[in-house]
Amino acid sequence: MDCIFCKIVKGEIPSRKLFENDRVLAFYDIQPAAPAHALVIPKKHIASMNEAEEEDRELLGELLLTAKKVAGELGIAESGYRLINNVGPDSGQIVFHIHIHVLGGEKLGGLNVKS
């Protein structure tokens, strides 16, 4: 496996952790797109939502509940935040290990604004 997020899970690549348990990990994005920007990933390697299966249902739910928890940690629960999961070419997905972006800390841009 040459997956950068699997290496972060194993501690082979450092990360600034926000939350961790046996199943999920949350850490700061190293290229923040907003004042607050974290990633929530499953420890299990799943390349993208396209590869998620029915058996992953609880794990996927835990990703969203962890994102909520992380928003609280980041102090953006009340001001608001956006959860984003990119899948495949048109989305700009770069790392092929499911990750949910948690973005906030400012008024965010529109749903699909081109730069």
In the complex, which residues of this chain contact a second copy (CB under 8 A)? 33-34, 49-50, 52, 54, 56-65, 67-68, 71, 76-93, 101, 103-115
Closest distance to a second copy from the beta carbon of 18 (Å): 16
Q: How far is CA 11 from CA 8, 14, 21, 115, in A?
A: 5, 6, 14, 35
> Which is the catalytic residue, given 37, 97, 99, 101?
99
99 is catalytic: yes
Our CB check for a second copy shows the closer of 12 and 58 to be 58
Kind and range of the H or E run holding 17? strand 17-20
Our CB check for a second copy shows the closer of 20 and 56 to be 56
Q: How far is CA 78 from CA 73, 82, 109, in A?
A: 11, 12, 18
Q: What amino acid positions are annotated as catalytic residues?
A: 99
